[in-house]
């Protein structure tokens, strides 16, 4: 199996490779305002189109595998996420840029998205999944801690953020059996949220 193979779906959530066709739905979503809070500065400028073009260029060169997320039940745009820093040799990758519209952040969408990403990584024999999160992004940190990711350290002044600050980045990871445990926890969470 390939990380970018079609058919990445869990519960009411489907992840499709990000394409030019997703530019308008993403631009119309709340992601544009949120991205200035946590995104890194990129060489081509800090505007939405520059970021979108940069993401597609990274995908073409294999530096990332970005996804658009759809809520299947109503076809609603449900966010974005990506595999970053993929090393097939060392069987590791980073999951990043996961964002969901505010009205979907407490339901099945985030849990199903995380399960889809982790499950696909495991199916592709990835042994280490990393998360690099701005230490001020408390909701994101709590989210990865809830699935059992271990904090490995803090990279001080690691990146210049689009909001104009230098961000300290917390490094978290899941390895080996922790990946299976995270999947079990997320499967239970998705099942419970579907019943609710």
pLDDT digits (tens, 9 = 90+) for 105-133: 888 999 999 999 999 999 999 999 999 99
Q: Across the chain, what does the average pLDDT equal? A: 93
Cβ count within 10 A of residue 103: 11
- With b meaning 16 or more CB within 10 Å and e meaning fewer, what string describes 170-184? bbbbbeeebbeebbe
The per-residue pLDDT for 43 is 78
pLDDT exceeds 90 at position 143: yes
The per-residue pLDDT for 61 is 93
Q: What is the mean pLDDT of residues 177-191?
A: 97
Beta-bridged to residue 128, according to DSSP, are 92, 175
CB-CB contact of 23 with 32 (8 Å): no
pLDDT exceeds 70 at position 196: no
Q: Name the pLDDT band for 74 (thresholds 50, 70, 90).
A: very high
Q: Name the pLDDT band for 180 (thresholds 50, 70, 90).
A: very high
Quick one: which of 58, 83, 78 has its CA closest to 5?
A: 83
- 48 or 150, greater pLDDT: 150
CB-CB contact of 115 with 187 (8 Å): yes
């Amino acid at each position: 199996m390939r990380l970018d193979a079609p058919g990445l779906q869990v519960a009411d959530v489907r992840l499709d490779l990000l394409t030019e066709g997703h530019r308008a739905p993403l631009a119309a979503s709340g992601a544009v305002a949120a991205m200035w809070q946590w995104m890194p500065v990129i060489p081509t400028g800090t505007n939405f189109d520059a970021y979108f073009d940069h993401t597609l260029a990274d995908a073409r060169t294999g530096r990332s595998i970005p996804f658009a997320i759809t809520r299947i039940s109503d076809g609603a745009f449900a966010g974005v996420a990506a595999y970053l820093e993929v090393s097939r040799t060392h069987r590791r990758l980073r999951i990043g840029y996961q964002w969901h519209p505010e009205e979907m952040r407490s339901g099945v969408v985030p849990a199903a998205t995380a399960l889809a990403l982790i499950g696909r990584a495991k199916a592709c024999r990835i042994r280490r999944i990393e998360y690099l999160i701005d230490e001020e992004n408390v909701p994101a940190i709590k989210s990865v801690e809830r699935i059992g990711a271990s904090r490995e350290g803090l990279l001080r002044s690691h990146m210049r953020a689009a909001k104009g600050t230098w961000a300290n980045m917390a490094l978290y990871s899941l390895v080996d059996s922790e990946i299976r445990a995270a999947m079990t926890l997320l499967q239970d969470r998705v099942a419970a949220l579907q019943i609710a």
